[in-house]
Amino acid sequence: MKIRPPFLLPLLLACAVPALAQQPPLPEWDQLTPAQRETLIAPMRDRWNASPDHRQRMYDHARGWQQMSPEQRAQARRGMHRFKSMSPQQQREARALFSKMRTMDKAQREQLREQWHRMTPEQRRQWLEANPAD
């Protein structure tokens, strides 16, 4: 195993940073080339075409996203990242809770949250069986 001088990595990084920094920022949407727009749109078109049964949900989600404030969008992004880091069991629980809470007012959601935290694992399992995610 070769021993590299401790200054080598920072030196290499310092050389790479200017190359990355020299890329000009991308323009506003109207100034993007057709190829740049296609790169951005293609994944959504593929999802849309592959999921006819989910199109209304995708459309409603996009409309809802546009109506959110920047703070609400940031909060939603944090929630999505948190969800992705959960175990499959935690994700199943989160889906079921979210599905149930969508139909509740704020006081009912808070009550369910408190109830959930007091439940034993067996009680949670029973609740999940009685309240599957939509």
3-state secondary structure of 33: coil
Mean pLDDT rounded to a whole number for the chain: 87
Q: How far apart are CA 112 and CA 102, in angstroms?
A: 12
Residues of the chain above pLDDT 70, percent: 84
State the DSSP string of 67-114: HS-HHHHHHHHHHHHHHHTS-HHHHHHHHHHHHHHTTS-HHHHHHHHH
Looking at residue 21, its pLDDT comes to 59
- When pLDDT is cut at 50, 70 and 90, the band that residue 60 belongs to is very high
Mean pLDDT of 104-125: 93
- Residue 21 vs residue 58, higher pLDDT: 58
Judged against a pLDDT cut of 80, whether residue 12 lies above it is answered with no
- Maximum distance among all alpha carbons in the chain? 63
